DNA sequence: GGGGCTTACCTGTCTAGACATCTAAACAAG
DNA sequence: CTTGTTTAGATGTCTAGACAGGTAAGCCCC
């Protein structure tokens, strides 16, 4: 939307099986995701957009309705359509704390613990934690909210032998930082983050309140304490386009 | 929709501030809620509905789209529109057990305990339990799921003096029926149920994964043991239209 | 300067009609 | 009997136009 001009049309592909309104919704979404149109900015009016894409106004409205339901834009009668401010940009930094991330967007963080168990590490978790397969790990599954929107379904794995008492610590507090503090980890940093994307399982889609055909971002990361010892391996699942992951080196 | 005839129209109110498609969606929803159109049943075609209500087909489509998004109907191209089967009907009967209710819909019941405390009864709870205000009661707050969908946020109050050991019993099991059994209540029946509706609090909306502008049903009930002694007062909160409460005398 | 009115602009709703696409039943050919 | 084709009927998409209703800025009048 950064190269708007009302005279020239930016044609969409007709007869290719993908509905025009879906194409238009996708383009606007891309512009938001890429940062071309920033949160809070006003989109062109429906009339302008319909001229822009060379379609009827109703077709544009169908696209905007979809984006509005996804929470990507906010439509105000008599004023216009605006990019929603509450698209959470998840900046991957060395020091990443859930509550600080959410609060940076002026939202209230909260979370519910869905599972807390001591299990045997499978291959992937063992690799991440740098322990041998089958070792005991404490697993915490947690659903994180920003205000009342679910933004993150994460699983955290802690090496049980290295962090004695972590299970009890996690039982008494829902903040991971506090639990780690209770077992003597005063600070921790992110060593590595790997991001992929896939379609959500049904459970993930329900918990994160996202559509099953909309991909989720998977961020796996390894956290180390001040001595460089690995103390956590975590795998988070984030709904797009509500959450966007940004690397800032 | 039980009095369908294509020739006569069932006019909707124009110019009264409520959009036609909302009125139509409401009527269809009422027909589903009242049981006039049963789960799995086929709705009249869009053409029939538009003739029925005396509006354009697009207006009917707008209404059906809304109901479809709410999960109340299922639209299949080339076939028709059907009432969704997975709307949980909560039939109020004398013997009501959460897990049995969910299993009757071929779903897997589960629940998480959010709170378990011994507190003083406020006026409402004391009235429900038939004890004097300020008496000690054990309160259990629980979020119930059908498969992975939250369907019920409930608070259960037990008279601490009458049911000695109920606190410990509830700690060791999440099934209320089992806990009551442990303190000697082999069976219990529902004495009274009162149902109201209101908008959910933010927390309720979050937990039940429902919209804040969509009402929740509140069902308060009193359970008695075989001797007629009141052993529980419960207040449940159910998301509409995912859950519908049905009285069957 | 301030209050109230007008007006341009924008989204919301509804109608009318055309054609695409999908489904299932009826039908024909093998 | 089975397979393939046709066809009627259902939902999906798109266009065109009209008017309602909300917003904000500009204007006039006091």
pLDDT in tens, A61-80: 999 988 887 778 888 888 89
What CA–CA distance (Å, rounded) separates B15 from A243? 41
Task: Break chain A into its structural domains and give their ranges.
Answer: 20-83, 88-247
Helix axes A46-53, A57-69, angle to 10 degrees: 110
Whether residue B241 has a cis bond before it, omega within 30° of 0: yes
Angle of CA points B204, A242, A199, to nearest 5°: 100
Q: Is A145 close to B202, i.e. CB distance below 8 A? A: no
Q: What is the ipTM of this complex?
A: 0.55
CB atoms within 10 A of CB B2: 7
pLDDT at B245: 64
pLDDT digits (tens, 9 = 90+) for A159-203: 998 898 899 999 888 788 899 999 988 888 888 777 666 667 767
CA separation (Å) from B125 to A93, A195, B36, B157, B222?
Answer: 50, 50, 36, 7, 10
Tokens found for residue B154: 């409930």
Q: Is B148 close to A203, i.e. CB distance below 8 A? A: yes
Average pLDDT of the segment spanning B140-150: 86
CB atoms within 10 A of CB B52: 21
Does the CB of B78 fall within 7 Å of any strand D atom? yes
Asked whether the beta carbons of B177 and B190 are under 8 A apart, the reply is no
Q: Which residue of A has its CA nearest to B58?
A: A58
Whether the per-residue pLDDT at B211 is higher than 70: the answer is no
Whether the per-residue pLDDT at A86 is higher than 70: the answer is no
pLDDT at A199: 65
pLDDT digits (tens, 9 = 90+) for B43-93: 999 999 999 999 999 999 999 998 887 778 888 888 899 988 766 666 666
pLDDT at A84: 81
Produce one character per residue of A112-146: b if its CB has 16 or more CB atoms within 10 Å, e if not.
bebeeeeeebeeebbebbebeeeeebbbbbbbbbb
A234 compared with A101, residue with greater pLDDT: A234
- Is domain B88-247 annotated with CATH 3.40.1410.10? yes
Asked whether the beta carbons of A210 and A217 are under 8 A apart, the reply is no
- Three-state DSSP at B164 gives coil
What CA–CA distance (Å, rounded) separates B74 from B99? 26
pLDDT at B233: 94
pLDDT digits (tens, 9 = 90+) for A132-164: 877 899 999 999 988 777 889 999 999 998 898
Q: Measured in angstroms, what separates residue A112's CA from nucleotide C11's C1'?
A: 39
Gyration radius (Cα) of chain B, Å: 21
Average pLDDT of the residues of chain A:
81
CB atoms within 10 A of CB B238: 25
CATH fold of A20-83, please? Arc Repressor Mutant, subunit A (1.10.10)
Q: Which residue has the tokens 């299970």?
A: A167
Q: Which residue of B has its CA nearest to A69?
A: B69
Asked whether the beta carbons of A207 and A143 are under 8 A apart, the reply is yes
Confidence of residue A56 (pLDDT cuts 50, 70, 90): very high
Asked whether the beta carbons of A245 and A226 are under 8 A apart, the reply is no
pLDDT at A1: 39
Which secondary structure element, helix H or strand E, spans residue B61, and what is its range?
Answer: helix B57-69
What CA–CA distance (Å, rounded) separates B40 from A193? 47
B108 compared with A214, residue with greater pLDDT: B108
**DSSP for residue B42:** B
What CA–CA distance (Å, rounded) separates B65 from B70? 9
What CA–CA distance (Å, rounded) separates A219 from A233? 11
Whether residue A142 has a cis bond before it, omega within 30° of 0: no
Tokens found for residue B239: 């998301």
Does the CB of B201 fall within 7 Å of any strand C atom? no
Using a CB-CB distance cutoff of 8 angstroms, which residues of chain A are in contact with residue B206? 110, 145, 148
Using a CB-CB distance cutoff of 8 angstroms, which residues of chain A are in contact with residue B212? 148
pLDDT digits (tens, 9 = 90+) for B230-240: 999 999 988 87
Asked whether the beta carbons of A237 and A218 are under 8 A apart, the reply is yes
State the best of A65, A69, A145, A148 to mutate against chain B, taking most chain B CBs within 10 Å. Answer: A148
Residue in A221, A57, A217, A4 with CA at minimum distance from that of residue A128: A221
Average pLDDT of the segment spanning B24-33: 86
What CA–CA distance (Å, rounded) separates B32 from B10? 18
Average pLDDT of the residues of chain B:
82
pLDDT at B86: 65
pLDDT at A249: 35
Tokens found for residue B172: 């060791």
What CA–CA distance (Å, rounded) separates A185 from A181? 5
Q: Measured in angstroms, what separates residue A41's CA from nucleotide D30's C1'?
A: 39
- Three-state DSSP at B106 gives coil
Q: Which residue of A has its CA nearest to B149?
A: A206
């Amino acid at each position: 939307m950064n190269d708007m001009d009302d005279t020239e049309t930016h044609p969409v592909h007709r007869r290719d099986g993908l509905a025009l309104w879906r194409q238009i919704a996708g383009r606007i979404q891309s512009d938001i995701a890429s940062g071309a149109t920033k949160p809070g900015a006003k989109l062109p009016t429906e009339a302008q957009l319909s001229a822009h894409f060379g379609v009827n106004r109703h077709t544009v409205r169908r696209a905007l309705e979809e984006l509005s339901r996804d929470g990507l834009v906010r439509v105000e009668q008599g004023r216009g359509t605006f990019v929603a401010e509450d698209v959470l940009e998840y900046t991957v930094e060395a020091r990443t704390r859930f509550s600080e991330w959410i609060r940076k967007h002026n939202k209230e963080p909260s979370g519910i613990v869905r599972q807390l168990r001591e299990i045997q590490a499978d291959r992937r978790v063992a690799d991440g934690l740098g322990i041998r397969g089958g070792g005991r790990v404490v697993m915490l599954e947690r659903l994180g909210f920003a205000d009342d929107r679910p933004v993150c379904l994460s699983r955290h794995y802690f090496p049980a032998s290295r962090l004695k008492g972590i299970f009890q610590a996690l039982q008494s507090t829902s903040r991971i930082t506090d639990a780690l503090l209770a077992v003597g980890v005063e600070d921790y940093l992110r060593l590595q983050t790997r991001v992929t994307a896939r379609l959500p399982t049904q459970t993930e889609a329900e918990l994160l309140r996202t559509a099953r055909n909309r991909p989720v971002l998977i961020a796996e990361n390894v956290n180390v304490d001040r001595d460089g010892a690995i103390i956590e391996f975590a795998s988070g699942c984030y709904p797009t386009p509500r959450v966007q992951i940004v690397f800032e080196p």
